[in-house]
Structure 1
Amino acid sequence: MARGAPQQIRYEPSQPKTNSGGNCQAVEEEEETMMKHLQRAGEVIALYRRCLEVARLFPDPCGRNYLHYYVVEKFRKRSTETSPTIIGRHIKQGRNAVRRLRRSLHSRRDYQHVIELAYGRKGPFKHLLREAEIEASQPPKLARPPRFMLEPLPGASGETFTLASLEKFLDPSTREATGAAAAEREATEASARLQLAVLRELVPTRWVRRAKFAAPREEDASEEDASHPTKSPNDEAGRDRRAWKRDWLPAPWDVDRSPPHEVRGTSRGTGAEARPPSRHWSGASTAAWMVNHLALIRTTFVPAVEAMSADGAIGRAWRRLYASTLGEPRQRDALRVEGAPESWRDPHVPFKSTGLVLRFRDRVVDEIDPAGMGARDGDEA
């Protein structure tokens, strides 16, 4: 359950107050309308909690972080809606969202769709990653602040990093060898590691089902079968029809949450503890989650998947899935012609007889001898 979620709303209708004429119809209609609104509010809260629970069942921390904060943003954006028609439409969209989230834990295609959105291979994060690369490649513009700026670090210093500077100070290849710049670089690297630890701490942990919802152990299952010898196999199949496919999903993993040192501090001017836990309904703003997610993609999520694939920590099928997702986009298969003379492109270039090779993917389809290629009028063969 999300921290800071509102409690269940209860409404007890008051006794209708009759006027001098004894007419209480207006009061009854008002109470009936209020009951309908509160029922819808309870349904919205239930959908919100269900979406967060299913999102936190996702085994990939990148997909879990993306789904969690995406659900938080959508529900908070629509929390002030008052139109009954639009509220009903949003409730319908929430039900569809729960079904799609559950399908991502059962279907390989839906699972790949989520990780492609989370890792920025399509969707809004694809464009944000490209814009961050463009901003990092250009010199800083002093007339306006950078667009991709992280929140200040906890403590009195309040040091801030951009995506480009964070990647630069975490890259050991850009480190100075000796001198005063090396000492200053070491202090900045410590702040960058602290910033990365704070970002990793904001990634939601994987939710584990309670014992009564978990699958029974082998010895418990054997004892249960022995105590019910007349149980039909159809009953067992019907009960497990909606069970989670734990053997199908990859083994869940999490980000490294060990900070370089204790993350403590107070906000400047207020004395309050810096970076309080996010309240995902009406508490602190979560507008900066997209910039945080961009920083984690480049510094945490993608390197972790590459290291796990190299070590063989995930299965071969999942290595191939992540390689196709995180690798270069596959070019459309087409028949390629190699060795075409330049005169085919430019009519002013004299013809020169060369051999042609036709390839499809990496396979040679046909080879054309230079003698079989005709020359134009006036060209030398």
Structure 2
Amino acid sequence: MIELILETGYELLRDMPQKYTILDIAKTAGVSRGTVSRVLNNHPSVSDQTRQKVLEVIKRLDYSPNFSARSLRTAASNMVGFATDEVITTPFAVDIIRGAQDTLSQYGKVMIAINTGYDSQAMQKSMEVLLERRVEGIVYAAMFHREIDIPAQLVERIPVVLANCFSKDQLLPSVVPDEVSGGYNATKALLDAGHTRIGFINLSRAWGEPIAPLPASDGRLKGYKKALAEADVPYDEDLLHYTDQRPTSSYDKTLEIMQKDDPPTAIFCGNDRTAMGCYNALMSLSLRIPDDVAVVGFDNQSNLCEALYPSLTTVQLPHYEMGQWAVEYLLNHADDSVDPPQHKLNCPLVTRDSV
């Protein structure tokens, strides 16, 4: 069962308290959140030097643990919050929400979903709404792999797990795609098919936002280079192009890359929408896929990949698995005494007909 709330400006029933949190202590002391928690719980695994450093920061900042928040966490409401920027309104919603919901159902839990957009104030209000519902914890999911900023006061009050995003300094548990493995798997598929001139049309911006580089863009390029190096194929920077994700951008970049003196026989596209533009450009040049040029995408938007002709070989973004992992960790392992994991999930190849 999912209760859906689209955030449109809820009035807060109370302001979130402005005080130092366990995250502030961790950052100031230069240690993890789990280490601070172990010091507070007098855990023997902390060295005397580290313990002293943390205690000095606690004293200097006049920090006191939020015991009311701890009692809130132990009050089982059988409800879990699922907050997101735009996942609910995008094609990726189905898998990541289904992964979370299927896992919650196994535990007899109910999901309350809130869509916040990219507004930090709306995020804070939305989180407060979830706290008013006395959820046992919150999964925050992002539309694309990126760094996010979760209000520190929230983290002090309730367990939070991140999906498809990560926090600065990695002080919250998160699960993200292994972009390097995805780039590697895509490129290796083309190498295994006998190609050595492999173009790469990578992503430079996220949905029109001037964000560069992106974790996805960086990771996929690293995987591309890794696969080439393992096959003893020299990396040729002339074969690397970037698309700004305008509808015509990948079309133009494909024409540009194919006009080189020694054009590629295969093209790895940074996502499936880029591959669609690539298909159209190759068709305009009377080139056949995969006979003349092989193409691999990324994301596995199945409705798009299977609609293209020939159907697109691509790499799977593990949205369903990220939803699963986030809920499993939230319900079973979100313990302050453990350093938060930064978990990466493999991005496997989905073979169709374009290679």
The TM tier, using the shorter chain, reads under 0.3
Q: Which has the higher helix share?
A: 1
TM-score (structure 1 length as normaliser): 0.23
TM-score (structure 2 length as normaliser): 0.24
Q: Which has the higher strand share?
A: 2
